[in-house]
A and B are shown apart, each in its own frame.
Chain A
Amino acid sequence: MLDRPAATGRSRRRLPSALPWILPVAIVVAWWSSTAVGIFEVHQMPPPPVVLEAGLGLWRRGLLQQDLVATTLRVIAGFGLGSAIAVALGTLTGLSRRAEEAVGPTLQALRTVPTLAWAPLLLLWMGIDEPPKLILVAIGAFFPVYVNLVAGMVGVDRKLIEVARVYDLTPPQIARRVILPAALPDLLTGLRLGATQAWLFVVVAEFFGASSGLGFRLTDSQQSTRVDLMFVAIICLAILGKLTDSLLRLIEGRLLRWRDTVGEAARQ
């Protein structure tokens, strides 16, 4: 049966629900009223108008744009690098038992190192320029992408591979036409987790010896006790992180229309 009752009625043209906005609005209200009532001092917890004004001030001086661009570019470059290596290496170890034996245990061991522990070492080796920041972001993005891709490739239904074998497909053809498409959902999950990690790591990278970026803005404002500017940076990070996740979800939705899951059914 072609199951398309959703084409008519509410689900196709429903209005965007207000439900997701209730909680953020409540948080802003609580934030605002907590300073208004005097639970917090204004210099501890500046109310929304003060933060907005501080943000606009940064923008007028051109500093906010600079921070946003610097951080975003680091995330794009670092995430691109880390996930590209993860896809290449993951494809190799997902397909070849020998490659998995060769690098799998080492990567497993490296993964247990809290990734931020690399930061001081990278700084020492490569100074305070861009390379150590990019590499730190790349390390952050690498592991979720790699782990999820390999899990997806190893978990491909053996029965589907058997169909390809009946047609005498070569191992590279089986990889391209069966294993990789079947592992796509896991790869996309890995990319989303990797992107989240990339935003986390870029902030940490910018804590050390950066002269621009939202992470720099956070430490810089901390030293000058400008809590309002710290709030500006945090809100920007929240918005950027959310935008990245929404973009990846959109791509996921496009690529995975074929999936027969509760999530896909809700999307249609």
Chain B
Amino acid sequence: MSRPLTVSRLRKRYSETPVIGGLDLEVAPSEIVAVVGPSGCGKSTLLRLIAGLDTRYSGEIRVDDALVCGPDPRVGMVFQEPRLFPWLSLAQNVGFGLRERNGRKARDLVDETLGVVGLSTFADALPKQLSGGMAQRAALARALVTEPQVLLLDEPFSSLDAFTRMRLQDHLLTAWTRYRPTLVLVTHDLDEAVYLADRVILLSDRPARVADVLRVAPDRPRDRRDPSLLGLRVALLEALHLERSQLDAAV
């Protein structure tokens, strides 16, 4: 069986500054991996490299066993901002990445995906008519409609209020249940990490390496008030502090 995503000995530097310093990561099919770490540690850089947006790195990134050397239809991405095209309707935005954008089949795919994120009635709306949460759901639909094997999410809910964020996390799980992509989610929100992920990867401060890995019990649906999730959150917080203090000691 092929592996949807393998990262090995990944190194990346911006001019003289090493950002990622030998990172290994292997993700199983349909697994949800959350990546957390100190801010500025290179989490977003990691996603950009996996997405093929930046190909100047050393080491290996393989998607579906193929070496990443540029953007790949098997990899989708949701950014921190919705990044919808303001001149396109919601349906046109969602269909943006489809190879065949016109015709019955495309329309059906778009409609179905809009349904999954609960936006069926807004197919013809313009982005300016949407709230932040709706726009981000549309962005999620746009990433899902091409059915990527690997879906990368770069702090996708960080600019939303707490209530909308929780709803979107559930939308994401619904979509994941329907499409079963492998998810790599970069987040600052430890509750979000333990609520969504099968595995939480803690990165060290720059240059990023895997500092710690926490497994979450695989049962779903999860209860946000579950004490074991809260326990994991505390463990993560402590690990993050440890990272911080080691860094401070080194300085």
- Interface of A with B (CB < 8 Å)? 1-4, 159-160, 162-168, 177-178, 181-182, 184, 257-260
Contact A168 B71 (CB under 8 A): yes
**Known pairs A167-B73, A167-B96 / 4 extra A-B pairs, C-beta < 8 Å:** A1-B131, A166-B71, A257-B126, A258-B127
B81 within 8 A of A: yes
B53 touches A168 (CB 8 A): no
B215 at the interface (CB under 8 A from A): no
B59: Cβ under 8 A from any A Cβ: no
Q: Specify the chain A residue showing the minimal Cβ separation from B85.
A: A160
Closest CB of chain B to A162's CB: distance in Å? 7
Residue in contact with A168 in the complex, picked from B73, B81, B122, B129, CB distance below 8 Å: B73
Docked pose: A166 CA to B148 CA in angstroms: 11
**B86–A259 CB distance below 8 A:** yes
What secondary structure prevails in chain A residues at the interface with B?
A: helix
Contact B122 A160 (CB under 8 A): no
B72 within 8 A of A: yes
| Shortest Cβ gap from B61 to chain A (Å) | 15
Separation of A178 and B127 alpha carbons in the complex (Å): 15
Name the A residues within 8 Å of B83 (CB-CB). 159-160, 162-163
B77 on interface, CB distance cutoff 8 Å: yes
A-B contact pairs, 12 of them (CB 8 A): A1-B130, A159-B81, A159-B83, A160-B83, A163-B79, A163-B83, A163-B96, A167-B97, A168-B73, A258-B86, A259-B128, A260-B86
B72-95: CB near A (< 8 Å → 1, else 0) gives: 110111010101011110000000
| Residue B49 at the chain A interface, CB threshold 8 Å | no
Contact across chains for A168 and B86 when beta carbons are under 8 A apart: no
Q: Assess whether B73 is in contact with A260, with CB atoms less than 8 Å apart.
A: no
CB–CB B53/A165 < 8 A: yes
B125 close to chain A: CB less than 8 A: yes
Interface SS of chain B: loop
CB of A166 within 8 A of CB of B85, answer no
Closest to A4 in B: B129
Q: Which residues of A contact B125 (CB under 8 A)?
A: 2
Decide: A258 and B71 in contact? CB cutoff 8 A: no
> How many Å lie between the Cα of A167 and that of B97 in the bound state?
6
B51 proximal to A (CB < 8 A): yes
Question: How many Å lie between the Cα of A258 and that of B83 in the bound state?
Answer: 15
User: A184 vs B86: C-alpha distance in the bound complex, in angstroms?
Assistant: 12
Q: How far apart sit A59 and B75, CA to CA, in the bound complex (Å)?
A: 70
Complex Cα spacing A254 to B77, Å: 32
Give the residue name and chain of the A residue nearest to B70 (CB). A168
Determine whether the beta carbon of A184 is less than 8 Å from that of B87.
Answer: yes
Bound-state Cα–Cα, A260 to B125, Å: 13
B126 in contact with A165 (CB, 8 Å): no
Q: Which of A163, A166, A260 contacts B128 (CB 8 A)?
A: A260
Q: Report the separation of the CA atoms of residues A233 and B88 in the bound assembly, to the nearest whole angstrom.
A: 44
B86 smallest CB distance to A (angstroms):
5
Separation of A2 and B77 alpha carbons in the complex (Å): 26
Is the beta-carbon distance between B79 and A159 smaller than 8 angstroms? yes
A177: which B residues are within 8 A, CB to CB? 96
Min C-beta distance of B154 to chain A, whole Å: 11
- Of all chain A residues, the one with the shortest Cβ separation from B98 is A167
Contact B128 A2 (CB under 8 A): no
The smallest beta-carbon distance between A122 and chain B, in angstroms, is 39
A166 with B76, Cβ < 8 A, contacts A258-B86, A258-B126 known:
yes
